Amino acid sequence: MPEQASTFASKVDALYFYLCGLTVFFTLLIISVLIFFFVKYRKRAPFEVPRPIAGSIKLETLWSVIPFMIAMSIFVWGASVYFAQYRMPKDGMEIFVVGKQWMWKFQHSTGQREINELHIPVGRKIKLTMTTEDVIHDLYIPAFRTKADVVPGRYTSLWFEPTKPGRYRLFCAEYCGTNHSGMGGWVEVMTQTDFDNWLSGNANQVSPVEAGKQLFTTTLGCATCHNADGTGGRGPALTGLYGKTVQLEGGGTVTADEAYIREAILNPQGQLVVGYQPIMPTFKGQLNEDQLLQLIAYIKSLSPGQSSGIETAAPASANNPQAGAATPAGQGAKSPDAQRSNPLNATAPQPSANGSGNNAAPNRRGNQNRQ
């Protein structure tokens, strides 16, 4: 078994051994009963006629009630472990993840970027917001006993709380192409002091919120309809939007989460907000997944009561870190696409002018009537 390194690793293992124990017990029991019946009720004479056997209400009740109770114990135990794993904490340290053939790209809330490596502090709840640029992937960390699909066109979430410092493997657990077996990396769990020092050594990055604000106010021209301070104009107000219920044309409602904001950017006519005209253009094909995550991070920052704040003693947690190369001294930077040939030799990407680490967003301005 892999090392237990998260708060619910022991719970997953206990349920697993319980299922294995039940399987072994009933396998041996059934085989033993079969052998016993083979011997006891074997044919002893050529013309022997067995005596009739009447049914037993007590026996039939037992073999109905006992399996039912065992099945319910599996259900209740499994449901409790499932809810512990997949109910996202509100106070989690959020990290954005983008899967790509064949690498994992991570970006911290303070701007630091990593490829196939993830540095996190021990004893902190970590929430991963994940998507993919191409096909289905699956982020799997055996030591944490957790995994989740990463699906094109939507966001999935995963959380864990590491319990001990160390270096743990991560894998893609969904076949995604010819180099699927090479799509792996490492999770580096550090003490809080070491993590703060690591952030300090990579403090020259633009945070997703700052990069999203640049896209929102300048590159895409969203502020022409949604005021730059988040208040409304020709489009709905964005201040306090995240996490709230939005009234739609036709009488429907939707919760303003990451998926809704993403859909509002790519397909603005799909869910029109009550009281606003369908004047917002689509940005589908103009933004990559990194830029979409940055826009979402900025819009979430306009709802501080709903988004999870990240606090750290490191200088890298400053509100406005400066842009610059992410590669530590002495290492040569590579583009993300260059990692395809050697995904396990992780090197931080060279960010573009807007800090996205990919191609800059097209300089197209358009009116937005909603998010």
The rounded distance, in Å, linking the Cα atoms of 109 and 311 is: 10
Q: Which comes out higher in pLDDT, residue 293 or 166?
A: 166
Name the residue range of residue 31's domain. Answer: 1-37+57-87
Residue 75 lies in a domain: yes
For 227-283, how does the pLDDT look when each residue is reduced to its tens digit (9 = 90+)?
A: 766 666 777 888 888 888 888 877 788 888 888 888 888 887 787 888 777 778 888
Q: Give the least confident one: 67-71, 122-126, 289-293, 301-305.
A: 301-305
Please check whether residue 371 is in contact with residue 236, taking contact to mean a CB–CB distance below 8 angstroms.
yes
Name residue 233's amino acid. Answer: G
Report the DSSP pairing between strands 184-190 and 93-100. Answer: unpaired
Name residues whose C-beta falls within 8 Å of residue 8's C-beta, 6 or more positions apart in sequence.
81, 84, 85, 145, 146, 160
* Closest alpha carbon to 351 in 329, 332, 327: 327
The arrangement of strands across the sheet holding 93-100 comes to: 113-115, 103-108, 93-100, 126-132, 156-160
Residue 263 lies in a domain: no
Residue 304 lies in a domain: no
Q: Does pTM surpass 0.75? A: no
Residue 28 lies in a domain: yes
For 17-39, how does the pLDDT look when each residue is reduced to its tens digit (9 = 90+)?
A: 999 999 999 999 999 999 999 99
Residue 22 lies in a domain: yes
Instruction: Tell me how many domains the chain contains.
Output: 1
For 117-135, how does the pLDDT look when each residue is reduced to its tens digit (9 = 90+)?
A: 999 999 999 999 999 988 9
Residue 13 lies in a domain: yes
Mean pLDDT of 33-62: 85
Number of H helices, E strands in the chain: 6, 12
pLDDT at 307 over 60: no
Residue 168 lies in a domain: no
Residue 1 lies in a domain: yes
